[in-house]
Structure 1
Amino acid sequence: MLYDCAVIGGGPAGLNASLILGRGRQQVILFDDDTPRNAVTQESHNFISRDGVHPAEFKKASYEDLNKYPTISVQRNHVVDIVPTASYFQIQTEKGQQYEAQRIILTTGLKDILPEIEGMHQFYGTSLFGCPYCDGWELKDLPLVYIAAYPHAFNSIKMVSNWSKDIVVCTNGKETISPQEKAILSQKNIQVIEDEILRLQGEGGQLKSIQFKNGNELHRQAGFISYKLQQAAPFAGRLDLESNGMGGIKIDPYGRTSRKGVYAAGDNAGGLPQQIVAAAEGSKAAISVLSDHVAETF
Structure 2
Amino acid sequence: MTVAVNHVVDGPGNGRDGGDSEVVVLSGSLGSDLRMWQPQVAPLTGAGYRVVRYDHRGHGGSPATQGPYDLSDLGGDLLSLLDALGVEAAHVAGLSLGGMVGMWVGAHAPERVRSLTLCCTSAELGPRGMWSERAELVRVRGMAPIADAALERWFTRGWRAGNPRRAEEFGEMIRATDPVGYAGCCAAIENMDLLGALPRITAPTLVISAAEDPSTPPEHGRRIAEAVAGARLEIVREAAHLGNVQQPERFADLMVEHLEVQKHE
> Considering the TM-score relative to the shorter chain, is it more than 0.5?
no
Bigger proportion of residues as helix: 2
* Structure of higher CA gyration radius: 1
TM-score by length of 1: 0.32
Bigger proportion of residues as strand: 1
